Amino acid sequence: MSKICVIGTGYVGLVTGTCFAELGNQVTCLDTDPARINGLLQGQMPIYEPGLEQLVEQNVQAKRLHFTQDYRSALEGAEYAFIAVGTPSGVDGEADLQYVKAAAESIADIVDFPILVINKSTVPVGTGDWVADVIRRRRGDRSLEFSVVSNPEFLREGSAINDFMSPDRVVLGSEDRKAATRLAELYKPLRCTIMVTDLRTAEMIKYASNAFLATRISFINEIGNMCEDLGADVREVAQGMGLDKRIGPSFLDAGLGWGGSCFPKDVKALEHMAVLHGTQPQLLQAVMEINRNQRRRAVMKLRKALGTLNEKTIGILGISFKPNTDDIRDSAALEIIHLLINEGAHIQAYDPQAMDNASKVLKNVKLCESPYEVADSADALLLATEWNEFKQIDFVKIKQLLRNPVILDGRNLWDSELLKSMGFTYMGIGRAIN
Ligand code: UDX
Ligand code: UDX
């Protein structure tokens, strides 16, 4: 059993802290947002993540998981301090490290015993060295025995607990290999591959992994756009490709592109790092351009189907950036809604989990309580997020409610032949338009 402090109770920190508690450790999660901590102390989750609420409750009951705003009590006797605060994009796409700095300085101010400082947040290559400098500078002549380890997270929202408990790999990077090996002990119960490397390599593994996954998606989306013109079906192209073991089937779903709090931020940050150090990241720039274009193409398809978007009502199903999360950061729906409104369209939208977050950012949008309210008197229906509950909606009712039987299936969720047979004008992504 180890004593662990996790700084930041967002999608990454809260899942990380709770899962370490579930493994039998003593964990204190800290956040500087009072509302977040007060909510957690009352059992209210600040985020929607399947299974998290129950796991938090179990570990709070077992007195392994604690929440506080106070750094001193959070760090008291801690052997490990995980930094899992946000690393949002700055103006030029660089990662904003102000919160990482604040956390590192708080550790430096308070800790007077040996500690491992672990970067769980996604940080640019070289940040680990920088965090060590921040701590040393802050300590001045007060010595402190510490090491910094990079331990990037590979958690997908919506499956974060499973991704933590059954990871493909744990990556640990440090200039102090003993420190990384010591941290590996925390992950031993997971019985997974634990890779120990140097700091910068670990930081780059995180960025390169996310950028590669985003590249796969932009690649299949570009192939999908060709399929539309050439009369092929991108879903079957992806299936045929994926049977090649070197390619594999995952992350080849054509759609409205990638969003969320990670891919957009991480690809931009990697591009920024490249340009800053003199490498021209043509591929990354193309990956981002294709992704932006995927949203514009969706708007173009709707405009073509309706003749104009001005004064038309578009129903949007799904606002979160992917199913099984309430996170709307950089979601395709948000960007498409913005583009549609710019052309004079009226929007009515629904999401199974993200309505609270959506209501904070979507002002002139009618927020609905069901897919049927979204379809009511709409000139077209766009599926932006492939929630399970949209799979079996009643299309007879949808058709009666729509002003025009026009559907843009942004995630190829539905059966195109069935919908065409019901008289819908069905448009998918990467599939022949009827
Ligand atoms: C984010 C990024 O999404 C992810 O790519 C990166 O690896 C880690 O940072 P996430 O958990 O999504 O992960 O961040 P977010 O949901 O924004 O939560 C960050 C939390 O840190 C918030 O609760 C915020 O209040 C807290 N925080 C922020 C602190 O506790 N201290 C600070 O100084 C700043
Ligand atoms: C991602 C990485 O998968 C994870 O390893 C990392 O730690 C954080 O970033 P996440 O952003 O939560 O996780 O979601 P993910 O499931 O990767 O989807 C990212 C985006 O890509 C979503 O917008 C999703 O809709 C889109 N996507 C995913 C596709 O468009 N097609 C696909 O085949 C897969």
Task: Please spell the DSSP secondary structure of 281-295, one letter per residue.
Answer: -HHHHHHHHHHHHHH
CATH number of the domain encompassing residue 396: 3.40.50.720
Tokens of 345: 């369209």
Is the beta carbon of 14 within 6 A of some atom in ligand 1?
no
pLDDT at 91: 85
Is the beta carbon of 87 within 6 A of some atom in ligand 1?
yes
- The residue among 166, 197, 228 that closes a domain is 197
Q: Is residue 63 domain-resident?
A: yes
How far away, in angstroms, is 258 Cα from ligand 2 center? 6
Distance CA(320)–CA(124), nearest Å, equals 26
| Residues 75 and 181 occupy one common structural domain | yes
- The residue among 140, 170, 197 that closes a domain is 197
433: pLDDT strictly greater than 70: no
Q: Which residues pair with 313 in a beta bridge?
A: 346
257 in helix, strand or coil? coil
pLDDT at 432: 76
pLDDT at 93: 85
| Residues 69 and 138 occupy one common structural domain | yes
How far away, in angstroms, is 303 Cα from ligand 1 center? 38
| Residues 123 and 243 occupy one common structural domain | no
| Residues 374 and 282 occupy one common structural domain | yes
| Residues 104 and 218 occupy one common structural domain | no
| Residues 10 and 159 occupy one common structural domain | yes
CB 210 within 8 A of CB 95: no
| Residues 276 and 181 occupy one common structural domain | no
Tokens of 122: 């996604």
Report pLDDT digits (tens) over 370-411.
999 999 999 999 999 999 999 999 999 999 999 999 999 999
8-state DSSP, 95:
B
Whose Cα sits closest to atom 15 in ligand 1?
10
How far away, in angstroms, is 156 Cα from ligand 2 center? 7
Instruction: Please identify every residue annotated as catalytic.
Output: 262
Report pLDDT digits (tens) over 69-126.
999 999 999 999 999 999 998 888 889 999 999 999 999 999 999 999 999 999 999 9
Whose Cα sits closest to atom 15 in ligand 2?
156
Is the beta carbon of 213 within 6 A of some atom in ligand 2?
yes
Closest Cα to residue 427, out of 382, 390, 362, 388? 382
Total H helices, total E strands in the chain: 17, 14
Whose Cα sits closest to atom 31 in ligand 2?
253
Q: Is residue 206 domain-resident?
A: no
8-state DSSP, 343:
T
Provide, rounded to the nearest whole percent, the portion of the chain with pLDDT above 90: 97
- Mutational test site, ligand 1, from 45, 85, 87, 331, max ligand atoms within 8 Å of CB: 85
Average model confidence (pLDDT) across the chain: 96
CA 378 vs CA 30, 34, 198, 382: distances in Å: 46, 41, 55, 10
Closest Cα to residue 55, out of 88, 16, 85? 16
| Residues 286 and 394 occupy one common structural domain | yes
Other Cβ atoms less than 10 A from the Cβ of 201: the count is 14
CA 408 vs CA 33, 177, 237, 255: distances in Å: 40, 52, 20, 11
Whose Cα sits closest to atom 28 in ligand 1?
85
pLDDT at 434: 54
Contacts 24+ apart (CB under 8 A), 241-250: none
Q: Which atom of ligand 1 is nearest to the CA of 122?
A: 7
Could you give phi then psi for residue 426, rounded to 5 degrees?
-100, 125
| Residues 186 and 141 occupy one common structural domain | yes
Burial grade of 50 (CB within 10 A; 0-12, 13-18, 19 or more) = middle
CA 42 vs CA 7, 34, 62: distances in Å: 19, 12, 15
Q: Is residue 68 domain-resident?
A: yes
Strands (E), 241-318: 313-317
What is the Rg, in whole angstroms, of the alpha carbon atoms belonging to the chain?
23
- Of the chain, the end-to-end C-alpha distance in Å amounts to 61
Work out the pLDDT band at 246, boundaries 50, 70, 90. very high
CB 60 within 8 A of CB 39: no
Q: Is residue 204 domain-resident?
A: no
Q: Is residue 207 domain-resident?
A: no
Q: Which atom of ligand 1 is nearest to the CA of 84?
A: 8
- The residue among 197, 224, 244 that closes a domain is 197
Is the beta carbon of 382 within 6 A of some atom in ligand 1?
no
Tokens of 240: 């045929």
Q: Is residue 376 domain-resident?
A: yes
Q: Is residue 432 domain-resident?
A: no
- Please count the structural domains in the chain: 2
| Residues 286 and 391 occupy one common structural domain | yes
The full DSSP string for 172-213 is EE-SSHHHHHHHHHHHGGG--EEEEE-HHHHHHHHHHHHHHH
274: pLDDT strictly greater than 80: yes
| Region class of 141: left (phi > 0), else alpha (psi between -120 and 50), else beta | alpha
Distance CA(239)–CA(250), nearest Å, equals 10
| Residues 170 and 305 occupy one common structural domain | no
Q: Is residue 228 domain-resident?
A: yes
CB 14 within 8 A of CB 264: no
| Residues 223 and 252 occupy one common structural domain | yes
Domain that holds residue 90: 3-197
